[in-house]
Amino acid sequence: MSKKERLNPLQIYRMLPRTNCKLCGCMTCYAFAYALLRQEKKPADCPTLLEEEFRPTLEFLEGALGKGERIEGTDFIIDKEKCHGCGICDIICRKASAVIFSPAIGKVFKRKELPPPVFQMVDGTVAVVNWSSCRRASGDTLCRVCVDKCPFDVLDLVK
């Protein structure tokens, strides 16, 4: 599923059984939809989706939401099965962190000293090695260049 076709919570909610049974650990099916997007829950955590009647929905959600794993303490979800180890996320992140935009005066400044890299390729796949260097960690929640430029849709951000 391309980045422009991502599901939103309401779309997911409409696919769910909508029984609000709480068997998944969430108070409502709508809360479960949000938990799915944040990778806090998996579609199979809903017992009703495991029933034969909902098998197509379960398979669709598993495919659409990917098999990414949320990296503890960060905003990142990484699907290591899709990663080819190209390092584009690392390169683009380093370029983005080399400049600072000042909205007050509308100018871009080059940093004198670069922060340590956020990403590193480990055993052929991307790993977050320095979350504190990420612009998102310092409050720039709009930065998502690594996610947008990844050609293999490996990275995502917690919704």
3-state secondary structure of 70: strand
The number of helix segments (H) and strand segments (E) in the chain equals 5, 7
Number of domains in the chain: 2
Residues facing residue 1 across a β-bridge? none
Give me Rg for the CA atoms of the chain.
18
In the chain, pLDDT over 70 holds for what percent of residues? 94
pLDDT digits (tens, 9 = 90+) for 80-99: 888 999 999 999 999 988 88
The Cβ of residue 143 has, within 10 Å, a number of other Cβ atoms equal to 19
pLDDT at 79: 87
The answer on 34 and 97 residing in a single domain is: no
Residue whose C-alpha is closest to residue 134's, from 114, 146, 155, 118: 118
Maximum distance among all alpha carbons in the chain? 60
Residue 47 in contact with residue 16, Cβ under 8 Å? no
Residue 142 lies in domain: 76-157
pLDDT digits (tens, 9 = 90+) for 35-56: 998 878 889 999 999 999 999 9
Q: Please classify residue 3 by burial: count the beta carbons closer than 10 Å to its beta carbon, then call 0-12 exposed, 13-18 middle and 19+ buried.
A: exposed
pTM greater than 0.75: no
CATH number of the domain that residue 134 is part of: 3.30.70
The answer on 149 and 86 residing in a single domain is: yes
